[in-house]
Amino acid sequence: MAKSPQGVSRYWFVEPSDLETRLSQDYHEATKTSEFLFSFGAEDPKRSPAVMEIINAVAGKSKSYGYFPRINLTPATWENLDTPIGTLIKSRRTNRKLLEKPITLEELSTLLVYGAGINGAIGIGENTSRDGRTYPSGGGLYPLEIYPIILNVEGVEEGVYHFDVRNQCINCLESGDVRTKVKEAYLGEKMLEKAAVCFFVTAIFKRTSFKYGERAYRLVNIEAGHLIHNVMYVGQALGLSIIPINGFFDRRLEKLINVDGIEESILYTAIGGCV
């Protein structure tokens, strides 16, 4: 990693041009929904049989690494997460003082399955339904993927994993000590020295853009926020700390999980551990 001046290796520098109108602002303006006159006629074309067939073929799909080593996830019961929501909201703080101790496989399972898993079916017509999840998604399309990076979980080998939401398991994509690589990708973040797990959230953009066009980029980022927020509250109820982090070298993390950064790209991450 290229060296930075002493004492500033973890900070960005703001250039004068950063204070001017940027591409992000142009994008936001260009993707506002405009008002115009339109007529659907008798039926909404977005709900025509042909369009619904495409939506149902895409919605809720997720990547599968079934040929990689698999660990089934068994979460705690819902009754174990009995902290009142008012208590969670009132006491919410980001606790960065992690302890150097492992979390359990049950805790990891609960974070993934209850934070980002399937929680029932969505009725979409007569005798037709598709899976719903514990967080909202634009159009119920669910374009996100989750890659847990296991650093210190009881009974689970360290390495890079993928969460298979449909089969409620994780698959090991690469085993071994990846802590140093992850820490460097997070600009040397010291919390990585004691973290037990990281969650990398990516989006496969075409799962949403085929329906929502350029506005889809807004939707996938909002959805990533919903997902991480869920995981944070589940962690809080378990007595763990889940810390959202968006300061990282994108391409390093994408290389670690072997995604191209174009069709599928990292949006948001969190690290977690005991406190």
Q: What is the pLDDT of residue 14?
A: 67
What total of structural domains would you count in the chain? 1
- How much is the average pLDDT of 60-81? 92
Task: Find the domain containing 206 and state its range.
Answer: 41-274
Residue partners of 102: CB distance under 8 A and separation at least 6 = 152, 153, 154, 196, 274
- How much is the average pLDDT of 72-99? 93
- How much is the average pLDDT of 106-134? 88
The model's pTM is 0.88
Q: Is residue 246 part of a domain?
A: yes
Q: Is residue 34 part of a domain?
A: no
CATH number, domain of 119, equals: 3.40.109.10
* pLDDT at residue 98 tops 90: yes
Work out the mean pLDDT of the chain and round it to a whole number: 88
Q: Is residue 232 part of a domain?
A: yes
Q: What is the pLDDT of residue 117?
A: 95
Write out pLDDT tens, residues 146-189: 999 999 999 999 999 999 999 999 999 999 999 999 999 999 99
- How much is the average pLDDT of 70-81? 94
Q: What is the pLDDT of residue 108?
A: 98
Q: Is residue 28 part of a domain?
A: no
Q: What is the pLDDT of residue 11?
A: 55
Q: Going along the chain, which residue ranges are E strands?
A: 70-72, 118-125, 128-133, 144-150, 159-164, 169-175, 197-204, 240-245, 264-274
Pairing state of beta strands 128-133 and 144-150?
unpaired
Write out pLDDT tens, residues 2-40: 454 454 455 556 677 766 767 888 888 888 887 665 555
Q: Is residue 80 part of a domain?
A: yes
Q: What letter represents residue 58's amino acid? A: V
Q: Is residue 24 part of a domain?
A: no
Q: Is residue 99 part of a domain?
A: yes
Q: What is the pLDDT of residue 5?
A: 47
Q: Please tell me the total number of residues recorded for the chain in this structure.
A: 275
Q: Is residue 251 part of a domain?
A: yes
